[in-house]
Chain A
Amino acid sequence: MADLKQQIIAQLNLKDLKPEDIGDDQPLFVEGLGLDSIDALELIVLLQQEYKIKLASAEEGQHVFRSVRTMAQYITEHQPKTV
Chain B
Amino acid sequence: MFIQATAGISPQPSFSALLTEPAVYAGNRLNCIEPDYGQIIDPKMIRRMSRIIKMGVAAAMDCLKTSATEMPGAIITGTAYGCLADTEVFLSKMVENREELLTPTAFIQSTHNTVGAQIALLLKCHNYNNTFVHRGFSFESALLDAITLLQEQHALTVLVGGIDELTDTSFRLLSRFGLYKKDISSNRALYDGAAKGTIAGEGAAFFLLSAEPSGKDYAQLNGLYTFYKPGDIAEIEKNIQSFLSAHGIGVNDVDLVITGQNGNVNEDGIYKQLAQTTFKGKACARFKHLCGEYPTAASFALWLAANIIKTGVVPSCTSVSSDNKRPGRILIYNHYQNTHHALYLLSVC
Interface residues of A (CB under 8 A from B): 11-16, 34, 38, 41-42, 45, 48-49
Contacts and interface: CB of A to CB of B under 8 A. Distances in A.
A38 to B, nearest CB: 6
B248 interface: no
A45 B47 contact: no
A11 B101 CA distance: 13
B48 interface: yes
Given A38-B48, A38-B108, A16 B103 contact: no
Contact of B47 (A13, A41, A48, A49): A13
Interface in B70-116: 97, 101-105, 108
A45 B101 contact: yes
B101 to A, nearest CB: 5
Contacts of B104: 38, 41-42, 45
B103 A48 contact: no
A45 B90 CA distance: 14
Contacts, number: 23
B105 A48 contact: no
Nearest to A37: B104
Q: SS class of chain A's interface: helix, strand, loop or mixed?
A: helix
A14 B47 CA distance: 6
Given A16-B43, A38-B108, A45 B102 contact: yes
B176 interface: no
A45 B103 contact: yes
14 contacts: A12-B47, A13-B47, A13-B48, A14-B47, A15-B47, A34-B44, A38-B48, A42-B105, A45-B101, A45-B102, A45-B103, A45-B104, A48-B101, A49-B101
Contacts of A42: 103-105
Contacts of A34: 44
Task: Rank and list the top 8 A-B pairs by shortest CB-CB distance, nearest first.
Answer: A41-B104, A13-B47, A48-B101, A45-B101, A49-B101, A45-B103, A38-B104, A38-B105
B42 to A, nearest CB: 11
B251 to A, nearest CB: 53
Contacts of A38: 48, 104-105, 108
A6 to B, nearest CB: 16
A65 to B, nearest CB: 15
Given A42-B103, A45-B103, 16 more contacts: A11-B103, A13-B47, A13-B48, A14-B47, A15-B47, A16-B43, A34-B44, A38-B104, A38-B105, A38-B108, A41-B104, A42-B105, A45-B101, A45-B102, A45-B104, A49-B97
